[in-house]
Amino acid sequence: MNKVTIAPASDLKLSQIILGFWRLQPIIASELVSLIKFAIDLGLTSIDEADIYGGYKSQQYFGEALKKEPSLRSKIEIISKTGIVLSSSGLSKSGIGYYDTSEAHIMQSVEQTLTDLNTDYLDLLLIHRPDPLMNPETIDAAFQKLKKAGKVTNFGVSNFTASQFEMLQNNMETALITNQIEFSVLHTSPIYDGTLDNALMHQIKPMIWSPLAGGAIFTKENEQVHEVRKVMQQISGELGGIPLDQLALAWILKHPSNALPVIGTFKKERIQSAVDALKVELTAEQWFRILVASQGKPMP
């Protein structure tokens, strides 16, 4: 698997498939070390985290693996996120979940993330959700302090609309080098709402969460899923019987934004299958057949 430069404004290179730890549960450190080594051997070197994942525990489990095998750190790229306060957090005085993109919260969150991960720096930090109260100058000040201190080398956002991305980027000096968004054969709105157009305009590679629609492609039962699954099974047969998870990833990978899917599996065979999706080539007609099935109407 090739590593790709994520944006013109940065020399950061990420693997074309990213391993996401949002589902990471308590795990023996040696088992996680083995999984990470397996992924690295396949060329999958980028790992996606967030301060809130696992109820603020996921990064601790990951950190135990890095503590057990410190040499792994130089072989991987770590992405994390900040800006969400869970209702279960001690930071929430009223017991509600909310967003916080203040300088104090960003700095505190990154410090805790570095401690949890047993690392000195992050390769990429994202604002997890667009905060209605976010102040671009405040966020920029935090980003610049973190970069100057060598604690974070690159920055981006997650779940931002095109206009939210533009508002933030146009009012800060720090380059935003990605937008992590939801996109799949069952969630195609980024094609039409300007999000992917915005990524292409800025020449940034978007990261894609839930690229398999949270498993709904295989488990959910409704008209959209039935139609998409039927068409995907037909196309799978045309391509020699490839697994549907590979086909779903290949559909994302065909988009000219060169998106980077974030997969959430801890099964080695599923990781291998995801990497194999890079070899799948869809025709334009096959790609549109899936899109038409998903949206439930022909192209205008």
Phi, psi of 256 (to 5 degrees): -65, -10
What pLDDT sits at residue 180?
98
Instruction: Give the Cα separation of 78 and 73 in Å (integer).
Output: 9
What pLDDT sits at residue 163?
97
Q: Which amino acid is at 24?
A: L
The string of pLDDT tens digits covering residues 91-130 is: 999 999 999 999 999 999 999 999 999 999 999 999 999 9
What pLDDT sits at residue 119?
98
What pLDDT sits at residue 198?
98
The pTM score is 0.97
The catalytic residue among 53, 61, 98, 99 is 53
56 catalytic? Reply is no
DSSP state of 257: T
Domain 3-220+257-280 maps to which CATH number in 3.20.20.100, 3.40.50.2000, 3.40.50.300, 1.10.3210.10? 3.20.20.100
Q: In degrees to the nearest 10, what's the CA dihedral of 24, 26, 32, 33? A: 130
DSSP of 57-82 = THHHHHHHHHHH-GGGGGG-EEEEEE
What pLDDT sits at residue 75?
98
Q: Is 128 exposed, middle or buried (0-12, 13-18, 19+ CB in 10 A)?
A: buried
Alpha helices in 90-161 (DSSP H): 103-117, 136-148
Could you tell me the CA-to-CA distances from 282 to 63, 223, 236 in Å, in that order?
39, 24, 10
pLDDT tens digits, the chain, 300 residues: what are they? 989 999 999 999 999 999 999 999 999 999 999 999 999 999 999 999 999 999 999 999 999 999 999 999 999 999 999 999 999 998 999 999 999 999 999 999 999 999 999 999 999 999 999 999 999 999 999 999 999 999 999 999 999 999 999 999 999 999 999 999 999 999 999 999 999 999 999 999 999 999 999 999 999 999 999 999 999 999 999 999 999 999 999 999 999 999 999 999 999 999 999 999 999 999 999 999 999 999 999 999
Strands, DSSP E only, in the chain? 3-5, 13-15, 18-20, 46-48, 77-82, 84-85, 98-99, 124-127, 155-158, 176-182, 207-209, 260-263
